[in-house]
Structure 1
């Protein structure tokens, strides 16, 4: 972790001038509805979550979990993380507190691993032990994607707990293999549902048809965002191929069409039929072409930006943006797209309603932790 002085700066100006954070000449950029404060800097961070006392857990791509103070001024590695295969898109990925964390201190996380039969994404959990040497004790594997395959792409690995606190949803990417997204026996290219004890609890209709018993929905590509809204609707975003990034409302038993349909095309130029040509597949609520390369996703519920309550906030990687999707019940449409001057991997809501971002730390990004607050 590389520490930064805390100062409100403009990312747009920072990108243009190359100025360092803390430079007193920086000012809020015109046109942005928030002030951006760099808080810390990490090595290719991937995800974050807040502890009840305001401290943060931050994952880094190489396999490091950090306990970060609320002001971002110091961090401590948390031991207990298994060996992570971080080649390509592999990483220590999502980190989420158990719905009953206050009582059981359980932390859930995902990571990519290499095995003799290939590579895949793992859902795991451990008991958080605080102190001078914080750790995750008793780490256990909850679920492994199936099958493991060759390659280093499209692991996905996002985690979301159902409002009832009894189920956990977990995303498996199709690993750039296309067909597994439609394979009923494979968990690749799927949204999965498990009980809080890790037992498969997929859509009963699909299970009755012979699908893997954890599958909730299928026909997905690279699912990098997953979140419930206050009404209990499950929203998901995924990277499309060459074009066709998507926001989906996830419904049990539905087929979202990939790779049979997409609003994008194959990277080699071959056409993929659009969603509108095959109405039997569930169409996205919002799609982008050109792409935004969506990273993390939240449903915003804080008081700092009440005008966005219930909307989706998405980190943009290739678009180097924070993207807002306007949600109205189960409908959605494009909202704002604010330039951030760096690849945004993660979005999180702080205890006070501030919006926190993690830069990707790759391909020219720095890897900073940023706090967004309303302009005064």
Structure 2
């Protein structure tokens, strides 16, 4: 085999992905990509039951949610054996349970911690947001400050990532409610992603008290939920922000094919389910449209689906050459995708094979990347230079 034949697949993987876009739409399509070099994963903590999210407090202590309904502490690289008391009662069903965690930006002053979770029963459940004060191993003054206005009758598509913005507002993703035959208002529930009268398939923007902001883009639209910031989403489970430019990036699950990387802009419609590359799980395309005027195209589409999870924007210096890149977890393939950005454009992509379902990826306060594996005996890993 010639040298050219050996190198061609690697070179193609790093060509501008837009050149691989099909004629049916402008989004670049990602397929197989090369393995990233110069890194290794080291285990920090084991013994986590299906961990979902990690966040750090100002003193370096990490908070980790476990989907069965526990909030854990990791201090100095050790898992506290006693879970934090006072968490809200959660519905552990299907994809639901205790989900994201986000300390208040002024945690040092107010000790407030925010949690998203599935609430209700198997026949009537929703995504909710709670807030409490973390004191001496317990959440005190717990309040449910926001919840999806409507319920659904299955355990799919709760969302739900949280992201604080510099103006003190909080973004929260809410899934579209699930796949057919799950219904709402006499139609497939996923259609509600296009209807501003519901929270399904939306990103909402809230005050620290869970209220809509006075400059939210749909506030004055008759019949619209005032909390809505963006719409037309299926199930966002990755949400991060570039601290330098302020760009907000999100990854969301497609159905069969059609996972998306999106650049979120307030007021934007991201198309689901009328515009998508996804296919029904039983076979046909969901729609022939992959782009439409007035709807925002994804910056990258994964076909086949990688089942995107946590998303991190890397801005530190511990991992040379990775500054300014996105890192997206993949539940399906047990890997992380490093997404090389050129401004708002995806310039290339590599994979970091972890060998287990990746549920969350975050940049830690020490400048390394941290990874949660979604397993019965889940792990917290640290990505360091090799």
Q: TM-score normalized by structure 2?
A: 0.84
Q: Which residue of 1 aligns with 2:139?
A: 136
Residues 65-214 of structure 1 correspond to what in structure 2 (within 5 A)?
65-115=71-121, 118-130=124-136, 134-164=137-167, 166-176=168-178, 177-201=189-213, 204-210=216-222, 211-214=224-227
Contact 1:348–1:355 (Cα < 8 Å) also in 2:
yes
2:36 touches 2:350 (CA, 8 Å); kept in 1?
no
In 1: Cα distance, 2:367 partner to 2:260 partner:
26
CA distance in 2 between partners of 1:306 and 1:286 (Å): 24
- Relative contact order: is structure 1 or structure 2 higher (C-alpha 8 Å, sep ≥ 6)? 2
Quick one: structure 1 residues 202 and 315, their matched pair in 2 at CA, closer, same or farther if it must change by over 3 Å? farther
Identify the residue that residue 381 of structure 2 maps to in structure 1: 370
Deviation per CA, 1:251-307: give whole Å up to 9, x if none.
111111111111111112121335544233111011100111111111111111142
Tell me, in whole angstroms, the C-alpha distance in 2 between the residues paired with 1:99 and 1:358. Answer: 22
Identify unmatched segments of 5+ residues in structure 2: 1-34, 179-188
Structure 1 position 143, deviation (Å): 0.5
User: How far apart, in 1, do the equivalents of 2:330 and 2:293 lie?
Assistant: 28
Aligned mates of 2:261, 2:198 — CA distance in 1: 23
Contact 1:326 1:335 in 2 (8 A): yes
SS in 1 for 2:160: strand
Distance 1:202 1:334 in 2: 39
How many equivalent residue pairs?
339
What is the correspondence of 1:174-323 to structure 2 with a 5 Å cutoff? 174-176=176-178, 177-201=189-213, 204-210=216-222, 211-230=224-243, 231-273=245-287, 276-323=290-337
Gaps (5+ residues) in structure 1?
1-29
Deviation of the 1:73 alpha carbon: 5.0
Give the alignment partner of residue 349 of structure 1, picking from 339, 356, 363: 363
1:22 equivalent in structure 2: none
Contact 2:122 2:154 in 1 (8 A): no
* TM-score using structure 1 length: 0.86
Are the aligned partners of 2:96 and 2:156 in contact in 1 as well (CA < 8 Å)?
yes
For residue 117 of structure 1, report the CA deviation from its aligned partner.
7.4
Q: Deviations over 1:43-84 (max 9, x none)?
A: 111111112222211110110001122212544310111111
How far 1:361 moved relative to its partner? 0.8
